[in-house]
Amino acid sequence: MSIYVNADTKVICQGITGTQATFHVRRSIDYGTKFVAGVTPEKGGTTHLGLPVFNTVREAKAETGATASVMFVPAPFVKDAIKDAAEAELDLVVCIADSVPIKDMIEVREILKGSKTKLIGPNTPGIITPGGARLGIFPENIHHAGRIGIVSRSSTLTYEAVIETNRAGMGQSTVIGLGDDMIIGIDFIEVLERFMQDDATDAVVMIGQLGGTFEEEAAHWYKELKRKKPVIGFVAGNAVPFGHKIGYAGDIITKGHITAQDKIDAMQDAGMTVVRKITAIHEELGKLKI
């Protein structure tokens, strides 16, 4: 079992004919991901990477039964691409593009309200279930099937967390990068809830960073759980002195009142184990009786 995607998930790629999409979809297919089609407006009826290309997600889903999409489309076109996927009622959309206009993401939130479609990203490396499915740009060679879930707001530190679970000899059940942009789709709470219910996940590694209140909200939710799995957390930027100016838009919004230490305190108060160095994660995993 895994969360969101597995070896049976039928996947399409929006923007499949682009250079980056071609490169990563080919790698994902080689990895075993079940890609069934691509979508590029005005190129319907053609083929690419041996897959049929459609003009709309609705057409692709009708022909293939796809339930998930990874989109490699430029930031200005993300809103329309997500709308296309939501109207087709896909279960999951993974948006790789960064710097999607804030106004567009506000509209995307409205589009997704009441929709069955869940969004990962934007500005995310994606999601990977080792040995099952890769939707995004994760370096698949570092991932190994195991029983530790990973959810992260920091794209590059996600890879470090993966390596730490490998060092502990535990591997990963599913790895998710939430995205670095100011407004994103699913958050820590939704992913943690899925991991708590997943029989294939024994513990979770949660990587936060400065900006916004995502970590505090997740900590408050976790604290109220009656039955919970262990969570080992790390907050990027915890070595920055108080008052140091950080260039994250989320930190500007909170006017600097949400420091790394604030996040750490909330997570520890909730019962999470928080490490000061990401390289200490494997040591804490080794202490768990799982």
Give the residues across from 204 on adjacent strands: 149, 231
What one-letter code names the amino acid at 174? T
Backbone angles phi, psi at 86, to 5 degrees: -70, -40
Residue 256: pLDDT band (50, 70, 90) is: low
- CA gap 279, 163 in Å, rounded: 9
- Give residue-wise pLDDT tens across range 63-84: 999 999 999 999 999 999 999 9
Buried b (16+ CB within 10 A) or exposed e, 130-141: bbbbbbbbbebe
Walk me through the domains of the chain, giving residue ranges and CATH numbers.
Answer: 10-120 (3.40.50.720), 144-287 (3.40.50.261)
- Mean pLDDT, all residues of the chain: 93
Residue 49: pLDDT band (50, 70, 90) is: very high
- Give residue-wise pLDDT tens across range 105-143: 999 999 999 899 999 999 999 999 999 999 999 999 999
- Other Cβ atoms less than 10 A from the Cβ of 94: the count is 31
Indicate if the pLDDT at residue 241 is higher than 50: no
Which two tokens mark 186? 């699913």
**Which alpha helices (H) appear in the chain, and where do they start and end?**
19-31, 57-64, 78-87, 102-112, 155-167, 188-197, 214-223, 249-253, 260-269, 281-287
Cβ atoms of 176 and 4 within 8 Å: the answer is: yes
Q: Residue 254: its pLDDT value, please?
A: 56
Average pLDDT over residues 91-101: 97
Q: Residue 269: its pLDDT value, please?
A: 98
Indicate if the pLDDT at residue 278 is higher than 50: yes
3-state secondary structure string across 131-177: CCEEEECCCHHHCCEEEEEEEECCHHHHHHHHHHHHHCCCCEEEEEE
- CA gap 260, 239 in Å, rounded: 8
For the chain, report the end-to-end CA distance as a whole number of angstroms: 17
